[in-house]
Structure 1
Amino acid sequence: MRILVVGAGAIGGYFGARLLDVGRDVTFLVRERRAERLRQCGLKVKSPEGDLAFACPPIVLAKDIGQPFDLVLLSCKAYDLQGAIDSFAPAVGPDTAILPLLNGMGHLDALDARFDPANVLGGQCVIAATLDAGGEILHLNNMHSMTIGERTGGRSVRIDAIAAQLGGAGFDLNVSEDILQSMWDKWVFLATLATGTCLMRAPIGDILAAPGGEALLFQLFDECRGIAADNAHAPGEAVVARARAFLSERGSSMTASMLRDLENGAPIEADHIVGDLLARRRAAVNGVSALAVAYTHLKAYEARRSRMARA
């Protein structure tokens, strides 16, 4: 199975490197600047689960794609989605499966609008990774899982064949028979984590140490899962219990990657992670919506960042 990994950044580069390490037919679709870096320094991963290094990883530029791939693995940031779609479109044939690992749900609409919706799978990943100043991929803890599935539910010959290629590659792979629910479950938790840690500029442990911190986190979580319920994807009891345990862990250093991006003055996925969630709200909120306040906070950051870039 020929696999095209879109980008060789923190997420795509990590999972692509793991697949490459066990002999899968992987090619990285990169821009010229990243291609030059990879030619000079190779692809390197630093991880508690084992370091990897490839002196000459297989790469291709969008203009040089000559034939369709069997699987496109997509893990870009939401604000880069349209550009990514344009770049990998030449690699998509009638039978190409597209596996997006973005957060939220809005990207599915964009992919469905450009490609055959039957070829767009559901997927998500759980990993904390970043690129350092030298372009190396830093895996920050022991979590590195991927969940995939058919959006129509159940199992299929196609998803099992893809799972056979993605499995056994040194990260945790799961096949969900209800991938949309799995994606909603992650979205609810991620939106809570992102809004809470960005609004308070602090990890979970520090928020819990502040007056009203736990109540704020639980209010954000309850709002997010209420929106999921509005859309017929309420998290189950086990998911809720696990999320509440994470959100009430004293001394936890957990933050969202959005906070790291915000503190570094980088672009953030405010609209895709939080704005789109708010847009799907159906039931009224009693009193002040903490989620709406957090969204305003993130959009104010984006406005300030844009203004300073123009100055």
Structure 2
Amino acid sequence: MRILVIGAGAVGGYFGGRLAAAGRDVTFLVRAGRAEQLRRTGLQIKSSQGDVTIQPKLLLAAEISEPFDLILLSTKAYSLDAAIDDFAPAVGPQTAILPLLNGMRHVDTLVARFGEAAVLGGTTRIVADLDSEGIVHQLGTWHDFTCGERDKSLSPRIERIDATLRDCGFPTTLSSDILAAMWSKWMMLSSMAAITCLLRGSVGQVVAVHGGVETVQALIAESSAIATANGYPQTPEFLAQHTARMTQPGSALTASMFRDLQKGAPVEVEHILGDFLSRGQAHGVETPLLRAAYVQLSIYSVSLGQK
């Protein structure tokens, strides 16, 4: 199976690098500057699960000459349209597109461009970052990967993809309800982004002050209410685990959106919080704390000139 990984950032670089290190046929579609950097230093992953350095196969958009079997897409949401234009020549009649973006809006965008049949569902739990030298750093221990057909079928292609992803240095799950898994991730991420961005601190910093724990619990409750209203209620066990993680004393955990905020980089506020709030509002769900986080991040985005 020929795999094209779009970009070689934190998430794409991590999973694509591990796939390549395990002997899978992986090519990275990158821009010229990143290509030059990777040719010079290789793709480097620093991880508690084991470091990896490979000399990756690289491709520029203008060099695409034939379709790939699988497109692995993990760009930031605000870069999605440009990425689609870049990889579109690599999509043929049998190509499967597996997006790992957060939320749901990207699915609608991909389906509109490539059709229902081409687009799978996918999600991952990983905390990773790309440093100034282009090295991928996995933070923490999570690095699991989940995919599935959006219609819940167990198709031959998804079984083949699942077999290709297995035994490559990260846990994989073939989901029978990938949309439910994506909603769980969205609910978890939206609440974590709101907690750390609105309150401007790590989980440990937030819960260390008076009212911190109660505010975290309220944000989780608002996020859970949106998921429930859209037909994806979270189990008590999932909510208990998420709440425990978001209230762990001394935790240095932050959302990637908060780390982007600290760097002065663009944030995925519309794709993650804006769309999430809209889907709650459509069902009459009141979410004042999530709304406050969204407004704050929207002001920041406008200050950057981000649409």
TM over 0.5: yes
CA contact (8 A) 2:44 2:52 kept: yes
Distance 1:108 1:285, change over 3 A: closer
In structure 2, the residue matched to 1:25 is 25
1:191, distance to aligned residue in structure 2 (A): 0.3
SS in 2 for 1:5: strand
Matched AA of 2:35 = A
In structure 2, the residue matched to 1:48 is 48
Gaps of 5+ in 2: none
1:88, distance to aligned residue in structure 2 (A): 0.6
In structure 1, the residue matched to 2:179 is 180
1:118, distance to aligned residue in structure 2 (A): 1.2
1:16 matched to 2:19: no
1:268, distance to aligned residue in structure 2 (A): 0.3
Q: Residue deviations 1:244-266, cap 9 Å, x none?
A: 22122222221101111001100
CA contact (8 A) 2:152 2:177 kept: yes
Matched AA of 1:24 = R
Q: Residue deviations 1:10-45, cap 9 Å, x none?
A: 111110110011110000000111111111221111
- Matches of 2:69 and 2:212, distance apart in 1: 47
1:4 matched to 2:9: no
In structure 1, the residue matched to 2:291 is 292
SS in 2 for 1:89: helix
In structure 2, the residue matched to 1:201 is 200
- Matches of 2:51 and 2:249, distance apart in 1: 31
1:179, distance to aligned residue in structure 2 (A): 0.5
CA contact (8 A) 2:260 2:267 kept: yes
SS in 2 for 1:280: helix
- 1:230-245 map, 5 Å: 230-245=229-244
Q: State the TM-score, normalized to the length of structure 2.
A: 0.96
1:90 matched to 2:122: no
1:305, distance to aligned residue in structure 2 (A): 2.6
- Matches of 1:134 and 1:144, distance apart in 2: 22
- Matches of 1:283 and 1:223, distance apart in 2: 13
- Matches of 1:198 and 1:101, distance apart in 2: 22
- 1:123-162 map, 5 Å: 123-162=122-161
Q: Residue deviations 1:182-208, cap 9 Å, x none?
A: 000010010000011011111111111
Superposition RMSD in Å: 1.3
Matched AA of 1:153 = K
SS in 1 for 2:304: helix
- Matches of 1:48 and 1:292, distance apart in 2: 36
Count of residue pairs brought into register by the alignment = 305
Matched AA of 2:115 = D
1:69, distance to aligned residue in structure 2 (A): 0.4
- Matches of 1:66 and 1:7, distance apart in 2: 18
Matched AA of 2:17 = A
CA contact (8 A) 2:229 2:285 kept: no
In structure 2, the residue matched to 1:37 is 37
1:121, distance to aligned residue in structure 2 (A): 0.3
Which deviates more from structure 2 when the two are superposed, residues 38-47 or residues 158-167?
38-47
SS in 2 for 1:306: coil
In structure 2, the residue matched to 1:274 is 273
- Matches of 1:270 and 1:285, distance apart in 2: 19
CA contact (8 A) 2:225 2:285 kept: no
- Matches of 1:50 and 1:84, distance apart in 2: 30
Which deviates more from structure 2 when the two are superposed, residues 125-134 or residues 263-272?
125-134
1:237, distance to aligned residue in structure 2 (A): 2.2
In structure 2, the residue matched to 1:117 is 116
1:285, distance to aligned residue in structure 2 (A): 4.9
Q: Residue deviations 1:258-296, cap 9 Å, x none?
A: 11100110000010110000111134456x711101111
In structure 2, the residue matched to 1:214 is 213
- Matches of 1:79 and 1:291, distance apart in 2: 20
1:60 matched to 2:69: no
- Matches of 1:285 and 1:80, distance apart in 2: 30
Q: State the TM-score, normalized to the length of structure 1.
A: 0.95
In structure 1, the residue matched to 2:264 is 265
Matched AA of 1:145 = D
- Matches of 2:137 and 2:144, distance apart in 1: 16
Q: Residue deviations 1:205-260, cap 9 Å, x none?
A: 11111121111111111111111112111112222121122122222221101111
- Matches of 2:137 and 2:250, distance apart in 1: 23
SS in 1 for 2:252: coil
- Matches of 1:191 and 1:285, distance apart in 2: 15
- Matches of 1:69 and 1:37, distance apart in 2: 24
SS in 2 for 1:245: helix
